[in-house]
Structure 1
Amino acid sequence: MITIDQLVKRRGSRTVLDNVGFTARPGRVTAFLGPNGAGKSSTLRILLGLDRADDGHALFDGRPYRTLPDPLRTVGSMLEGSGAHRSRTARNHLAWVARSNGIPRRRVAEVLAEVGLAADARVRVAKYSLGMGQRLGIAAALLGEPQILVLDEPVNGLDPEGIRWIRRLLRDHADAGGTVLLSSHLMTEVADVADDLVVIANGRIVTTGTVTEVTSGYADLEEAFFALTGVTR
């Protein structure tokens, strides 16, 4: 389980996160929705140990990320694309990531095939499209066969087939008992895969619940999103 407990983050006089709290449970896909600048990435950076909160906690099964003994075997994550150096090939990038966590090298070929990059494994990342870079980031997240996936805007740059593919991957992972937390500002791309929704605006959680609960009283998720966040169409 992922537990976000009353996170507070300030930058100067501005409060970026104001008592943000929610959970993401095993066997469920939890979509973390909000407009750009709402606080989604700041929350995930604290969760993954890349930033510090001024107050509150962000835990994986009761433990901060930095205390996990084999982090990539517990949590697979992607923030802001693949993170690969543009001069590296996909294969070399993943091989380095695997070595850093004691993951068998065979997993490199396996995840490249799983995300549809096997034919481009020896191509330098500089030549990748945005969608290919997203697939490489997801491949890195899958390397350690983790139970928990944390993905920031995973559908960015993906074509319609790529969006269908990521939906299937996330659904299959949750159905197998895994925990999935994905952030997005694109409501329609997550509506068909999410079980639970967490909506954030201006650094505050405005609602949580199942898709049915959050959209109750609205025509669809898009209408609910605009109404709850105050974003104009």
Structure 2
Amino acid sequence: MLKIDRLTKRRGSALILSDVSFEARRGRVTGFLGPNGAGKSSTLRILLGLDHPTSGTALVDGVRFAALRDPLAKVGAVLDGSGAHRSRTGRAHLNWVAAAGGIPRRRVDEVLELVELSGAARKRVGGYSLGMGRRLALAAALLGDPEALVLDEPINGLDPEGIRWIRTFLRERAAAGHTVLLSSHLMGELSETVDDVVIINRGRVVAQGTLAEITGARRNLEDAFFALTSGSGR
């Protein structure tokens, strides 16, 4: 389980996060939703030990990320692109990541198959489409067979086929008992993906609950999101 508890972050006089609390549980896809600049990426960076909070905690199974004994087996994350050099092949990039993490090379073939990228493994990353790059980044995150996936804006810029593929993959991952936490500012594409919803705006959580609880009598998640972030309430 991923637990964010009363997280506050200040940069100088700017309040980036204010008392943010929520959980992402096993076997469920949790959507962390909000407009650009709402505080989503800041929260995820703190969760992954890439930044420090002013106060509050962000824990993976009760432990800070930096204190995990085997972090790659606990959390796989994609925050900013694939991280692969354009001149490398997809397979070479994954081999490098696996070697750095002490992961057997045979796992590279397994994750390439999982993300349906085996046929492009020997192609240079510079020739990948946006969707292929997203799959390569996901493959790297899966190398440690992590219990949880943390993805920042995984569907941004994808075509409909790419969105369908990532939706199916994440649903299957959750059905297998894993934790999935994804952030996004795109509401319309997520109604068929998430089980639980956390909506953040201007650094504060304005609503959280199951998808049904958040949408309520409104027609869809996009309508609910607009009403909540525009200050009209639920």
For 1:73 and 1:151, how far apart are their aligned partners in 2? 16
Name the SS of the counterpart of 2:102 in structure 1.
Answer: coil
Provide, for residues 13-71 of structure 1, a one-character-per-residue CA deviation record: whole Å limited to 9, x for no partner.
11011111100011111000001110000000000011111111000000011111111
- Following TM superposition, the consecutive aligned residue runs of length 4 or more in structure 1 with deviations greater than 4 angstroms are none
Deviates more, 1:143-152 or 1:116-125: 116-125
Shift of 1:76: 0.8
For 1:108-147, list aligned pairs within 5 A: 108-147=108-147
Counterpart in 2 of 1:167? 167
For 2:165 and 2:59, how far apart are their aligned partners in 1? 29
Matched, 1:12 2:16: no
**Conserved? CA contact 1:218–1:224, under 8 Å:** yes
Counterpart in 2 of 1:28? 28
For 1:103 and 1:138, how far apart are their aligned partners in 2? 16
**Conserved? CA contact 1:30–1:194, under 8 Å:** yes
Counterpart in 1 of 2:153? 153
Counterpart amino acid of residue 56 in structure 1: G
Counterpart amino acid of residue 193 in structure 1: T
Matched, 1:217 2:208: no
**Conserved? CA contact 1:38–1:201, under 8 Å:** yes
**Conserved? CA contact 1:5–1:56, under 8 Å:** yes
Counterpart amino acid of residue 66 in structure 1: A
For 1:188 and 1:141, how far apart are their aligned partners in 2? 26
Q: Which residues of structure 1 form unaligned runs of 5+?
A: none
Shift of 1:219: 1.9
Q: CA RMSD in A?
A: 1.2
For 2:207 and 2:137, how far apart are their aligned partners in 1? 29
Counterpart in 2 of 1:99? 99
